[in-house]
Amino acid sequence: MTPTIADDDWSRMFLDGKWVPSPSGETLAVADPSTRDRLFDVPAATEDDVNAAFEAAAAAQDEWADASPSRRQGAILDGMDALEESFDDVVDLLISEGGSSTAKATIETQNTLATMGEAATFPARMKGEHAGSNIPNKENIVERRPEGVISVITPWNFPLVLTMRAVAPAIATGNSVVLKPSSETPVTGGLLVAKLFEEAALPDGVLNVVTGSGSDIGDNMAGHPVADVVAFTGSTSVGREVAATAGRNLAIAAMELGGNNAHIVTADADIDEAVEAGTFGSFIHSGQVCLSINRHVVHEDIYDEYVGKLATRAEEIATGSVHDPATIVGPIINESQREQILRFIDDTVDAGATLETGGEVVSLNGVEDSLVVAPTVLSGVTSDMPTACNEHFGPIAPVIPAGDVDEAVEIANDTEYGLSGSVYAGDVGRGREIAQRIDTGMIHVNDQPVNEEPHMPFGGVGASGIGRYNGDEVLQEFTQTKWTSVQHEPRDYGL
């Protein structure tokens, strides 16, 4: 059942169990961010295609909801087997399509397998309960049932794992799915997922994948009347619109949105360890991570030393084309993102910050318009400067001084976001006390913010989202309770 991933042309969508072209004949070109070469063309779906996908999902859902736990678990395990057998091909696709480094692509594929493994336990965890009644001879039964049809809209930065984080639990809990991946990564975020599940024991229509531009079909994905849940991962600005559109149909909005995560470093922290964590947290996947460190908040007593060591580490990071397995910082996903990152850097320097290193585009041999931005460290940053007050989504490390812990906490909380964060402290107990004061959905002590484990709740507060993924939280997100009462003896109504 190994998918033919390496040589597939990806020219069709997956609807109702079949690979079909879009009747419009329109396509979207997908390019390699490192080489800028065209990789393949995918269908540009229309609203009619989306409607057909939802029609197929609705028709398939009842049968799948009634499938045995072992059958639903088996479908997830089949998908895992396909991914394991195609591991190297999948890593190569993530490198070529999404600009992932070999290290990042490998970690993402491993995490996807772990996510699917967790989801495979969900069919056996959909348990209900019996409860007593105030009415004589009555039995109360609470069941956990699928929500129905789930609309999944996913991003380009971690396309495979962030898609599977929604799709695998949805299928495992008896729902059907309509998936629209980002137009930047339509294969690794969508068509590949259909390929992995193609030979699994899924009824036709349980999983449907449409590829296309958000401007063309995004509103229909978010506001389709058949959708019972709209699961979206992406920017806060788009997420607000998606949630509002879903709400008009009273669909549940599961939103994992942006972040402006702080890395607090106290005066008694081990500076070398804090810098190493900070380097990873700012520069992994070129900073294109919702969990990445957006602000380094460092005690003034160690500030200069921290900045110097962070700049040195930034200059040591292997930077360039991700087709070199040693590369860590590779290309930004597209020109508009690159230009925004460079503007943030320039505007922050104009506002009074000091550019310690980086801040320029890295030339690549044979590439006319490189998308690689050098790892950048900025000192003398304040909270109102562009790289600090915006989610910059690039390889930028703005370092903000703090006079004491109270000021550091105030700086960390000075944002509408509340996704993740980290505290590096010499005393772990003190670090945990500080962590409790940070308004985030996730926080990590003596580590950096880029952490995810499939059995731990993932999500934020404030402008960082609604709801949670992973573990029991996503199981509850994608299911609903149904109360059934049984009156075993005739009831006296007192009329």
Task: Give me the pLDDT at residue 2, please.
Answer: 42
pLDDT band of residue 199 (cuts 50, 70, 90) is confident
Checking if the pLDDT of 5 tops 80, the result is: no
Q: Which residue has the tokens 């799948």?
A: 64
What's the mean per-residue pLDDT of the chain? 96
Amino acid at the residue 347: D
Checking if the pLDDT of 234 tops 90, the result is: yes
pLDDT in tens, 103-141: 999 999 999 999 999 999 999 999 999 999 999 999 999
Contact 397, 354 (CB under 8 A): no
Parallel/antiparallel/unpaired status of strands 465-466 and 252-256: antiparallel
pLDDT band of residue 8 (cuts 50, 70, 90) is confident
**Selected catalytic residue, list 108, 118, 184, 256:** 256
Contact 144, 93 (CB under 8 A): no
**Selected catalytic residue, list 147, 290, 452, 477:** 290
Q: Which helix (H) or strand (E) holds 421?
A: strand 421-424
Task: Give me the pLDDT at residue 6, please.
Answer: 58
Amino acid at the residue 241: E
Task: State how far the Cα of 379 lies from the Cα of 264, in Å rounded to an integer.
Answer: 15
Contact 13, 28 (CB under 8 A): no
Q: Which helix (H) or strand (E) holds 31?
A: strand 27-31
Q: Which residues, in sequence order, are CB contacts of 354 under 8 Å at separation 6+?
A: 378, 379, 380
Q: Which of 266, 269, 265 is nearest to 397 (CA)?
A: 265
Q: Does 290 qualify as catalytic in the annotation?
A: yes
Parallel/antiparallel/unpaired status of strands 18-20 and 13-15: antiparallel
Token pair of 350 as six digits: 């104009």
Checking if the pLDDT of 294 tops 70, the result is: yes
Contact 171, 177 (CB under 8 A): yes
Q: Region of 256 please: left (phi>0), alpha (psi -120 to 50) or beta.
A: beta
Task: Give me the pLDDT at residue 222, please.
Answer: 97
Token pair of 261 as six digits: 């995560």
Degrees to nearest 5, angle at CA 289 with 302 and 182: 165
Q: Which residues, in sequence order, are CB contacts of 408 under 8 Å at separation 6+?
A: 264, 266, 297, 299, 402, 434
Task: Give me the pLDDT at residue 274, please.
Answer: 98
Q: Which residue has the tokens 């690039």?
A: 394
pLDDT band of residue 4 (cuts 50, 70, 90) is low
Contact 306, 265 (CB under 8 A): yes
Task: Give me the pLDDT at residue 3, please.
Answer: 43
Task: Give me the pLDDT at residue 9, please.
Answer: 79
Q: Does 389 qualify as catalytic in the annotation?
A: no
Contact 367, 320 (CB under 8 A): no
Q: Which domains occur in the chain, in start order?
A: 13-257+464-482 (3.40.605.10), 261-445 (3.40.309.10)
pLDDT in tens, 423-474: 999 999 999 999 999 999 999 999 999 999 999 999 999 999 999 999 999 9
Greater confidence (1 vs 9) lies with 9
**Alpha-carbon distances, residue 340 vs 22, 333, 343, 377 (angstroms):** 33, 12, 5, 16
Task: State how far the Cα of 165 lies from the Cα of 116, in Å rounded to an integer.
Answer: 8
Question: Which pTM value belongs to this model?
Answer: 0.95
Helix (H), strand (E) counts: the chain: 16, 22
Q: Which residues, in sequence order, are CB contacts of 302 under 8 Å at separation 6+?
A: 265, 267, 269, 271
Checking if the pLDDT of 60 tops 70, the result is: yes
Task: State how far the Cα of 221 lies from the Cα of 210, in Å rounded to an integer.
Answer: 10
Partners of 27 in beta bridges? 43
Q: Which helix (H) or strand (E) holds 291?
A: none
